Amino acid sequence: MMGKILEKPVVVILLLLVLSIYLFFFHSGRMALTDPDETFYAQAAKEMIQKGEWLTPMLYGKPQFEKPILFYWLLEASYKTFGINEFAARFPSGLFGFLGLAAIYLLGRLLFNNRVGVFSAIALATNLEYLMLANACVTDMALSTLMLLGVLFFFYGQIRKKDYFYVLSSAAFAFAALTKGPIGILLPCFIIFVYLLLTKDSALLKKLKPILLSSVVFVLIALPWYIVMYKLHANSFLDEFFGFHNITRFLTPEHKIGSGIYYNIPIVFGGFFPWSAFLPFGFWQMFKSKERRASLFILLWFFIIFIFFSVSSTKLPTYIFPSFISLALIVGKLWDDFLNKHNEKWFFFGMRLSYFLLLSATALSLIGAYIFIRMDYPEMVPGMLIAGLFLVLGMGLSLIAFLAKKFLAVFILVAYSVALILYPVVTLALPLLEGYETDRPVCGIIMSHYKEGDVIASEKDFRPGVAFYTGVIPAYLSNSSNLLSYIREGRTVWGVLKQKNIVEDMNIVYRRGKKRLVTNSKEKAT
């Protein structure tokens, strides 16, 4: 009976909505916004909505062109609905997190069968990077989901033979280009083009009407904002957005980390945990799959994105996140095949090896996490130990199910283990992380003593957070010596810096992790 109910897409999507409410929304407003990325977008949208600005992204009262406009529109709409707060800042990512689960379910169902769609959605929902990005005020979840929707509509067009799906696909890619720039259209279209060449499917390329309609829709959605920005800001827009944030960042590393060609390998295995333990066997099975066209596209999607961002000089853990679409489908297809073929010795051997790899990786991760947290965030140790016990409990139950050969229960319990630890992590551990990775505590100290005429100053990474939580745009600091000019003027100064950048003997009134609050105020701050 339950199996028949889960064959209905509406029922599955409603269940995914319930899961998303717990995973992506229930606790998303509890913790302060983290430095520097969440606060960057949240503060920019805050300034825009305060100024009534809906075209030019603003930060510190000036135009900034790090990303296109769509994510800022989403934040402004969320602020209008929920107020300017942490929940509103993270709501768009949570919403796209749910849409991504619905889309991967429909894509897995379309390419393979209903159970693959369900398994793929669960694997996507319960990997670490998806959980983090669906609860973060950053652009990556919106970009990935819009690219996924573009792929979904493309395959609906291919399989259902309805041209309007290609138009919808083009619209999704247009919104992706309005979220993170040219990469939102160039990369997926290149993958689709390679796929059509390799499958020798030139029919679509010869169909003039859907190509023209799709092109018109893309231009009508994506191009107007770029044209308006050029008319308003001319070469400053071209130089900063296209020149620096797209071309220069691809050719020249912006960060000290990530220069190695192998940077993204641990990102895949760590970010897609716990399901990454099944990827080696899953890739092998996907290469051997009888569903040639579907498996070819899934492999192309992963490897082209992976290679592109491995070649890129600037690397961040979130850049290859769109490739997780493929990883979820690989895991979903693998588990579906396993439930059908678990009596085959070679398949059972591969899954048993993968499962015990998961248990080993879990044990090593717990040990590594304990060492790391004890060194860098000692106050979080008790909360994380409780979360670790929850994880051990869930994995222990999955081991019992595996030994009893209840393999569907194994899959459910692995997902349950990840969902289970969310509550102690969010309620016991993350509140203690605020002092280390957010600016709300230090800003509370500043504003409890702040008087008109005081100078609030901050170095770059803390600056958007200080602006968001104080409502004052802080002066920029490279180190504490910059504060001296204000002090010589006889002004009271509050400076937020890293310990390594403090070069003067100043009064440190707050210290947590690497963050310090320095002041020349004689009023005692606690």
Q: What are the Cα distances from residue 216, in Å, to 55, 166, 193? A: 22, 12, 19
Beta bridge partners of 455: 493
42 contacts 33 by C-beta, under 8 angstroms: yes
Nearest Cα residue to 135 out of 27, 46, 42: 27
Share of the chain above pLDDT 70, in %: 94
pLDDT higher than 90, residue 492? no
pLDDT at 258: 55
Q: Is the backbone peptide bond immediately before 378 cis, with ω within 30 degrees of 0?
A: no
Q: Which residues contact 405 (CB under 8 A, 6 or more apart)?
A: 342
> If phi over 0 gives left and psi between -120 and 50 gives alpha, with beta otherwise, what is residue 200?
left
- Write out pLDDT tens, residues 193-230: 999 999 987 777 677 788 889 999 999 999 999 999 99
Cβ distance 156 to 115 under 8 Å? no
d(CA 419, CA 79): 28
Residue 124: predicted pLDDT:
98
Across 168-192, average pLDDT: 95
Q: How confident is the model at residue 144 (pLDDT cuts 50, 70, 90)?
A: very high
Tokens found for residue 356: 């015990």
Say yes or no to pLDDT of 451 above 70.
yes
* Phi-psi domain of 181 (left: phi exceeds 0; alpha: psi -120 through 50; beta: other): left
- pLDDT of the residue at 289: 87
- Enumerate the domain spans of the chain: 2-341, 342-437, 440-519
Q: Give the whole-angstrom CA distance, residue 396 versus residue 391.
A: 8
Q: What pLDDT, on the 0 to 100 scale, is given for residue 18? A: 96
Q: Give the integer Cα–Cα distance in Å for 385 and 406.
A: 29
pLDDT at 512: 85
Per-residue tokens: 117: 């769609």
- Tokens for 30? 């509890």
**Of the given ranges (5-14, 256-265, 313-322), which has the lowest mean pLDDT?**
256-265
Please give, one letter per residue, the 3-state secondary structure of 293-316: HHHHHHHHHHHHHHHHHHHCCCCC
Q: How far apart are CA 357 and CA 360, in angstroms?
A: 5
CA-angle at 64, arms to 100 and 494, nearest 5°: 105
Q: What's the sign of the alpha-carbon dihedral 19, 21, 25, 26?
A: negative
pLDDT for the residue numbered 525: 46
Structure tokens at 389: 């016990």
The answer to whether the beta carbons of residues 36 and 439 sit under 8 Å apart is no
Average pLDDT, the chain: 90
Contacts of 421 (CB under 8 A, 6+ apart): 387, 388, 390, 391, 394
Look at strands 58-59 and 62-63 and give their pairing. antiparallel
> Has residue 442 got a pLDDT over 60?
yes
User: Which residues are CB-neighbours of 397 under 8 A, at least 6 positions away?
Assistant: 413, 416, 417
Alpha-carbon distance of 124 to 341, in angstroms, equals: 23
Record the pTM. 0.93
Please state, in angstroms and rounded to a whole number, the distance separating the CA atoms of residues 281 and 285.
6
Q: What is the mean pLDDT of residues 429-445?
A: 89
DSSP state of 290: S
* Average of per-residue pLDDT across 295-323: 92
pLDDT tens for each residue of 154-174: 999 999 988 899 999 999 999
Q: What is the pLDDT of residue 3?
A: 65
Structure tokens at 173: 């890619």
